[in-house]
Amino acid sequence: MKEAAQKKINKYERILEAAAKVFAEKGFHKARISDVAKLAGVADGTVYLYFQNKDDLLIKTFEFIMDEVNSVIRNIYENEPSHKERIKKLITAHYQLASRYPHAAELITFELRQSQKFMKEYENKKFKEYLRLIGTIIKEGQEAGDFSKSLSPYVTSRAIFGILNETMLQWIASKGKYRIDEISNTVMKIVLEGIA
Amino acid sequence: MKEAAQKKINKYERILEAAAKVFAEKGFHKARISDVAKLAGVADGTVYLYFQNKDDLLIKTFEFIMDEVNSVIRNIYENEPSHKERIKKLITAHYQLASRYPHAAELITFELRQSQKFMKEYENKKFKEYLRLIGTIIKEGQEAGDFSKSLSPYVTSRAIFGILNETMLQWIASKGKYRIDEISNTVMKIVLEGIA
Amino acid sequence: MKEAAQKKINKYERILEAAAKVFAEKGFHKARISDVAKLAGVADGTVYLYFQNKDDLLIKTFEFIMDEVNSVIRNIYENEPSHKERIKKLITAHYQLASRYPHAAELITFELRQSQKFMKEYENKKFKEYLRLIGTIIKEGQEAGDFSKSLSPYVTSRAIFGILNETMLQWIASKGKYRIDEISNTVMKIVLEGIA
Amino acid sequence: MKEAAQKKINKYERILEAAAKVFAEKGFHKARISDVAKLAGVADGTVYLYFQNKDDLLIKTFEFIMDEVNSVIRNIYENEPSHKERIKKLITAHYQLASRYPHAAELITFELRQSQKFMKEYENKKFKEYLRLIGTIIKEGQEAGDFSKSLSPYVTSRAIFGILNETMLQWIASKGKYRIDEISNTVMKIVLEGIA
DNA sequence: GATGAATGAGCATTCATTCAT
DNA sequence: TATGAATGAATGCTCATTCAT
């Protein structure tokens, strides 16, 4: 990364990344806008040139991260024809993303729910899209006879998210006690057998 | 029980139950002590005669709920010899508890993580006990040859919690769109096949 | 005034009086709630136990003052049968009130309009009542043949307020350069001749 | 005039006129420099090339308007020898100016006082000149025996301003309920009889 | 001169907690 | 024990002003 060049441009993204980190570390409520601004290297007021308010900053941070995640999943869906391989790659991709962007992972893990609670009006489109993508993979697998037809695709996609999210959290919290491939291995077996 | 003693216990539990409800409805940060006090039918100051502060009230509310949950699980473990049946009953019990005490379920689902974040020093003993109980069931099942030996029991117990938690949330949020037995069915299949 | 006794009771009125003074001295916008609180000898938060917000505090301060003024005028109206004397006493009473409660006078003079501007929804009932009272005095004087029938009572009552308000301001701003009876004299002549 | 010079003058006056309008509509404190700039069709920063700061902009706007008013009054004074006619024309001119430049009228009516409050150091020369002009008309009328000698000219000029200002406000606020000639008529009678 | 992105000081309001009764 | 009035720390957001271009 070219620090100097970054300074001027991409203030929007710099704030987003700072927000992801601060929100992940302190939690949304304890995080102060001034913390985010300081980490992003801008003035407090500057945050409000790019985001409407603190809630909006949280939402945009989510959507920024979820866009990444969804794009990865869509990519798997479009390039991998095997239904079982799709699931395998999906799981692998999750842990890869989590280890590359731990703050983002932590943010989704920790703050996603909380935010839905106090922003009743916010319809989490990106998360719905995420579930829809996985649901499609499940459905096509069922139609092809690779996955059990007795499973509700919507419940299954939610269950898969639950497993991934919880074990990702376990890994983040453990700080090295659990190796990521031990987790990944167990999860992959459970999911693949579970939906077979 | 003497009247005076009864009264105190009642007040303690009344506050706990009020707290569970208010925290679940508003989220911990948005919930005000005065809301809890009003619902419990006591003065604001009275809450501080039974709990050190707001954090302590949240912790005690968790532990109150988790004690119930752990006691149910321990009961299953002690009275059900079949390993697979233990898992089935465990899952059933979860959804039963959730539908009987939706506030408690919502509280655990929504606030558990958040609280861990701002109470770094708080070691969530009751949750650890929960995971240990499930871990034991898994381990014994593996030793008996009923569950796959290639799974990490700790990761598996966490994965099971993730599935149950996430689908419970799905059910709570859907408010009737998903029937609990549709969810329960799919989850039971995934878990049983997944760990087999 | 018994300071000690006052301390406990009448927190509401103490805040009102502090507000009148601070608003008069600094203007509504520059006045800080903490200034009012400090002058009233209470904590910032205490202001919010008695008033909804800063706007409400301003409104209540106005109404408190206007109630006094209207009560004085109503008293004159009810006890003085002579139409000309009513006007004389009205004018005298105004300057007396102004010299006794200069902060209140200044507040009405300075802030009354401004507040109407930014609180579009606030219908200034007390000021309307004030104008109605004077309008009634004018109308009855016209019917009795003491005041010119060619004058619009509503415009006249407004004109009288304009004269009193402006000259009161002149006196407050002059800080002694103009004697109050010089002002009072001139005003009384203009008004009495003007409406005769 | 050369184009360049023209442009600058235009920009200066365009900002002044925008300021008069915005200040009148929103009040000084609620008006934002960016509102004024946008209405004037210039950048925010450009305002600061012509005016020192927001206070200065308000002052210059006042003085711009008061210069107009004073020039009209001076014209009446210089061209009309009859003392009574001077007063009549003065009153007529006021309402004419108010109906032609409602924003300016509203600005003077609403904001004049407020501004004096927070700009303690600002000596309102143009307003003093206004009062001096009317005072001169009164004094000469008194010397000629047309107006009562027992009136203080300074108080009287202030009283006249008070009447005009307040009734102008009444008219502006009523938005058509009162016709301007009903107001003008009543005011003219009160003033002429009042000072006779 | 002209721009407008960036700055950062300033303040109303909330609510956990205390303590006199 | 119980009360609830009083406290005061803590922070999101606005907008006048600056200055690099």
What's the mean pLDDT in C26-54? 94
For the CA of A7 and the C1' of E11, the distance in angstroms is 32
D114 and C186: CB-CB below 8 Å? no
* Percent of chain A residues past pLDDT 90, beyond the cut: 62
DSSP-assigned states of every residue in C60-85: HHHHHHHHHHHHHHHHHHHH---HHH
Return the pLDDT at C116.
54
Residues A134-156 pLDDT 10s: 999 999 999 999 999 999 999 99
Q: Is the confidence at residue D156, as pLDDT, over 50?
A: yes
- The CATH code of the domain that includes B84 is 1.10.357.10
For the CA of A51 and the C1' of E5, the distance in angstroms is 14
B34 within some domain:
no
Return the pLDDT at D107.
82
Residues A36-77 pLDDT 10s: 999 999 999 999 999 999 999 999 998 999 999 999 999 999
| Mean pLDDT estimate for chain C | 88
D174 within some domain:
yes
* Residue linked to tokens 């009444």: D170
- pLDDT tier at C2 (50, 70, 90 boundaries)? very low
Q: From CA C142, how far away is CA C148, in angstroms rounded?
A: 6
Lowest mean pLDDT: which of A119-133, B7-21, C38-52, C80-94? A119-133
Q: From CA A85, how far away is CA B151, in angstroms rounded?
A: 20
Return the pLDDT at D171.
86
C166 and D162: CB-CB below 8 Å? yes
Q: Of residues D95 and D115, which shows the higher confidence score?
A: D95
**Which residue minimizes Cα–C1' distance to E11?**
C32
Q: From CA C107, how far away is CA D166, in angstroms rounded?
A: 17
Give how many domains chain C has, as a whole number.
Answer: 1
Provide the 3-class DSSP secondary structure of residue D176: coil
Provide the 3-class DSSP secondary structure of residue D177: coil
C46 within some domain:
no
| Mean pLDDT estimate for chain B | 88
C63 within some domain:
yes
Q: Is the confidence at residue D4, as pLDDT, over 90?
A: no
Q: From CA D182, how far away is CA D196, in angstroms rounded?
A: 21
B45 within some domain:
no
- Cβ atoms within 10 Å, residue D184: 20
Provide the positions of strand E that have an atom within 7 A of a protein CB.
1-20
Residues B75-97 pLDDT 10s: 999 999 999 999 999 999 999 99
In a mutagenesis test of the B interface, which of A166, A175, A193 is the best target, namely the one with the most B β-carbons within 10 Å? A166
Q: Does A37 contact B at CB distance below 8 Å?
A: no
For residue D2, the number of C-alpha atoms closer than 13 Å in the C-beta half-sphere is 2
Q: Is the confidence at residue C8, as pLDDT, over 60?
A: no
Q: From CA B127, how far away is CA B132, in angstroms rounded?
A: 9
A186 and B114: CB-CB below 8 Å? no
Footprint of strand E on the protein (CB under 7 A): A 11, 42-46, 48-49; B 30-34, 44-45, 48, 53-55; C 30-34, 44-45, 48, 53-55; D 7-8, 11, 42-46, 48-50
State the nearest Cα–Cα gap between A50 and chain B, in angstroms.
26
Q: Does C64 contact D at CB distance below 8 Å?
A: no
Phi first, then psi, for residue B107 (nearest 5°) are -60, -50
Q: Is the confidence at residue D192, as pLDDT, over 60?
A: yes
D14 within some domain:
no
C-beta of residue C27 within 8 angstroms of C-beta of residue C111: yes
For the CA of A44 and the C1' of E6, the distance in angstroms is 10
Return the pLDDT at A163.
95
Q: Mean pLDDT per segment of 10 residues, for chain B of length 196 residues?
A: 56 94 87 96 96 93 92 97 96 90 79 58 83 96 95 94 90 80 91 88
Q: Given its phi and psi angles, is residue C31 left (phi above 0), alpha (psi -120 to 50 degrees) or beta? A: beta
Write out the two tokens for A16. 């987003």
Provide the positions of strand F that have an atom within 7 A of a protein CB.
1-20
DSSP 8-class letter at B32: -
Interface size, chain C vs chain D, as Cβ–Cβ contacts under 8 Å = 134
* Dihedral sign of CA atoms B15, B20, B23, B24 in order: negative
Q: Is the confidence at residue C3, as pLDDT, over 50?
A: no
Q: From CA D148, how far away is CA D141, in angstroms rounded?
A: 8
D114 within some domain:
yes
Return the pLDDT at D140.
97
* Rg over CA atoms, chain D: 18
- pLDDT tier at A3 (50, 70, 90 boundaries)? very low
B41 within some domain:
no
* Percent of chain A residues past pLDDT 70, beyond the cut: 89
DSSP 8-class letter at A196: -
Residues B131-154 pLDDT 10s: 999 999 999 999 999 999 999 999
Write out the two tokens for C164. 């009193």
Q: Which domain holds residue C177?
A: 53-195
C-beta of residue D168 within 8 angstroms of C-beta of residue D99: no
C-beta of residue D171 within 8 angstroms of C-beta of residue D183: yes
Q: Is the confidence at residue A4, as pLDDT, over 50?
A: no
